[in-house]
Amino acid sequence: MTALVTVDFRGDTLFAVERDEGAFVAIKPICDRLGLSWGSQYNRIMRDPLLREGVFVSKMPSPGGIQETVCLALRLINGWLFGISVRHVKPELREDVLAYQRECYETLADRFLGRRAGAEPQAAISAAPEGLEDRSLREREHNLDLVARMQAMKGPEWAFALYKRLGLPVVEPEPVPPTAAKVAADRAFAADAFAVALDAFARAHAPWTGTPRALRAALNAEASSAARAARTWPGTDQALGNALKRLTPDLRARGILVGRRHSGERFVTLALAEE
């Protein structure tokens, strides 16, 4: 059985799921709180053979519906946190990072593993009357069961609406970190002076239709001398056609459509894809 649990830590809300094999903590909300790049931290976790063993992807509600959220086994939280260098975070957040490194695991361990012998109980736990925490957990499990039934009967949109109405915790959706291939492709595109100029031209003038010569003249008129001197800049109409063919997939991925037709004379069309 999987149960969603929230834990208060120094005024922040930590999200976790309890499973038969233990507790797993949502990582992205912590990254957001500490000003860390989610993509970089995700890649670091997946590169580490030990941390990778503790990854569990859980379905959690968010403003956009049920989202898959990357969680890390509680036993490995310190291993991940201690890998964060305070030198690489904003100065105003360094004390917060140190606080997470010192205390976060203990707070979570108190909640999921029981209070340690001789340890001071956490204020958020000791403040609850005896039995209230158990009743709250049973109520949350009952509400989650209602949501699961609603999803089976009506689908995810109805289930999420019920989830919000019951006041259950909501996790912000997390973007899927870009793959190494995607990062490399974006860097290559940004380093291509002609690709960058064509992207800017299309966004400024689309929809645009004209001959390859007209397009080359328009780009030459708007580009800097440094861009025109770049190795990738086409010096002939044929070279422009080859460049368009090469860049068409990358431009399409960025919402720019390139069309070419031949009706006695060659024409190029640039258009923006509909959102």
- In which element (H, E) is residue 62 found? strand 55-62
Contact partners, residue 54, CB within 8 Å, separation at least 6: 24, 72, 73, 75, 76
The pair of structure tokens assigned to 103 is: 């205390």
Q: Name the percent of the chain lying above pLDDT 90.
A: 17
Annotate 154-173 with three-state secondary structure: HCHHHHHHHHHHCCCCCCCC
pLDDT band at 236, cuts 50/70/90? Answer: very high
For residue 177, pLDDT over 90 is answered with no
Q: pLDDT for 1-31, tens place per residue?
A: 567 788 888 888 888 888 888 889 999 989 9
pLDDT value, residue 263: 66
Least confident of 58-62, 73-77, 112-116, 261-265: 112-116
pLDDT value, residue 221: 92
Q: Name the percent of the chain lying above pLDDT 70.
A: 71
For residue 68, pLDDT over 90 is answered with no
Cβ atoms of residues 20 and 1 within 8 Å = yes
Q: How far is the C-alpha of 246 from the C-alpha of 244, rounded, in Å?
A: 5
Q: How far is the C-alpha of 78 from the C-alpha of 103, rounded, in Å?
A: 9
For residue 60, pLDDT over 90 is answered with no
pLDDT value, residue 201: 92
Q: pLDDT for 72-111, tens place per residue?
A: 999 899 889 988 988 888 889 999 999 999 898 888 888 8
pLDDT value, residue 117: 36
Least confident of 12-21, 120-129, 163-172, 187-196: 120-129
Please report, in angstroms and rounded to a whole number, the separation of the first and last CA atoms in the chain: 40
The pair of structure tokens assigned to 254 is: 């960025």
The SS3 of residue 15 is strand
The pair of structure tokens assigned to 166 is: 């019951």
For residue 274, pLDDT over 80 is answered with no
Q: pLDDT for 187-229, tens place per residue?
A: 888 888 999 999 999 988 888 899 999 999 999 999 888 889 9
Averaged pLDDT for residues 49-61: 84
pLDDT value, residue 188: 83
